[in-house]
Every structure is written in structure tokens, then in C-alpha cells.
Structure 1
């Protein structure tokens, strides 16, 4: 559940940076948004692997 909480925090950060980039035209926020999205991707991939491992342990 710790990883899910971390994922939620990253999504909130991405939302904030996305608003600054798209609504205010802040280019630095665009860079931070891309970074947050990459971190979300990596964390989601790790989470998927964990779920698959746990699911396959019962077999």
C-alpha cells in the first residue's frame, strides 16, 4: 500500500505542475511535469511486477 500512496502523491504533483505549465505557460513546470510522469511510469511498472509476483505465488 506504500507504493500506492507514493503513486497518489506523484499524480498530485503532476496535476499541480500540469496546471502551471498549461494554464500559466511556465516552461520549468513542464520539465517538472515530464519528470513526475516518468516517475509515475516507473513506479506503476514496479507495482505491476509486484502484483504479478504475488498473484503467481498462489499457483
Structure 2
């Protein structure tokens, strides 16, 4: 379950920057949000690959 915890930690870390960007219009926070979302995308792809590998190895 550590992969899930890593994803949740990343999402929680972005919460303040989301608020700063959307509520206060802070452009630097928007850059941090974009970078964080890119990291989430990479994490999601790694998890997808791992799940597929585990699923296929059990056949």
C-alpha cells in the first residue's frame, strides 16, 4: 500500500498550491501545481506498469 501512500502524500502536498493558484491567482503556485501533477502522472504510469507486470506474472 506504500504506492498509494506516496500518491496521497503528493496530492496532499499540492493542496496549498492549488488554493494559492485558484483562489489568489499566484502564478508561481500554478507552476508548482503543474510540476506536481506531472510527478503524479509519472507515479500513475509506474503503478500501472507494476500492476500489469504482477497481473501477467500470475498467469
TM above 0.5, yes or no, is yes
Q: What is the number of equivalent residue pairs in this alignment?
A: 59
Q: CA RMSD in A?
A: 0.9
Between the aligned partners of 2:16 and 2:6, the Cα distance in structure 1 is 16
Moved beyond 6 Å, runs of 4+: none
The one of the two structures with greater contact order (alpha-carbon pairs below 8 A, sep at least 6) is 1
Structure 2 alignment gaps of length 5 or more: none
Aligned to 2:3: 3
Which string of whole-angstrom CA distances, capped at 9 and with x for unpartnered residues, describes residues 13-47 of structure 1?
22321111010111100000000000000000000
Task: Tell me, in whole angstroms, the C-alpha distance in 1 between the residues paired with 2:53 and 2:16.
Answer: 33
Q: Normalising to structure 2: TM-score of the pair?
A: 0.91
Q: Which residue of 1 aligns with 2:29?
A: 29
Structure 2 counterpart SS, 1:12: helix
